Amino acid sequence: MGKELQLLFLAATVAAAAILTTASAKKSRDVTELQIGVKYKPESCTLQAHKGDQIKVHYHGTLTDGSVFDSSYDRGDPFEFTLGNGQVIKGWDQGLLGMCVGEKRKLKIPAKMGYGERGSPPKIPGGATLIFDTELIAVNGKTSGSGGANAESNSEL
């Protein structure tokens, strides 16, 4: 009977480890620091976003499981705000600085720079990492006038 008990214990330990590994893998997509990935940058950057600028941004926001919680693209209406004045989450105020009109960035924002432990119910749970695909449309009412373009980057972030 001792051998059977040992095998049963071993099987239970393996099953528990598999469950923990799966939960850990899901959680591993969370980030602890702001990550900024440049997905596309115009060849010429004549208009750049700085603190205090009124900027217009298109975005697509998802959670780490891929579920969409908001998208200005879906509404067909970019979001406009003053950069660096705390009108948006910290991840945006920091992640969009220095962006060129026409540039596309992917921001991975930790909870502490997003909605924190409280979240923004019902769509954003507490402690959630937020992923935004962003595109800068205008700075202080001005859009990019011209210029060639670099190829889009497919780098993973």
Choose the catalytic residue: 36, 53, 55, 59.
59
- C-alpha to C-alpha distance for 90 and 113, rounded to whole angstroms: 5
Residue 129: what are its φ and ψ, rounded to 5°?
A: -80, 135
Are residues 71 and 57 in contact, defined by beta-carbon separation less than 8 angstroms?
A: no
> Which residues lie across from 133 on neighbouring strands?
60, 106
Choose the catalytic residue: 53, 55, 115, 124.
115
Are residues 111 and 120 in contact, defined by beta-carbon separation less than 8 angstroms?
A: no
- CA nearest neighbour of 131 among 34, 27, 49, 58: 34
Choose the catalytic residue: 70, 79, 133, 137.
70
89 counts as catalytic: yes
Structure tokens at 121: 């119910």
Choose the catalytic residue: 36, 89, 109, 124.
89
- Three-state DSSP class for residue 126: coil
115 counts as catalytic: yes
Residue 112: what are its φ and ψ, rounded to 5°?
A: -65, -20
109 counts as catalytic: no
Active site residue ranges:
59, 69-70, 89, 115, 132
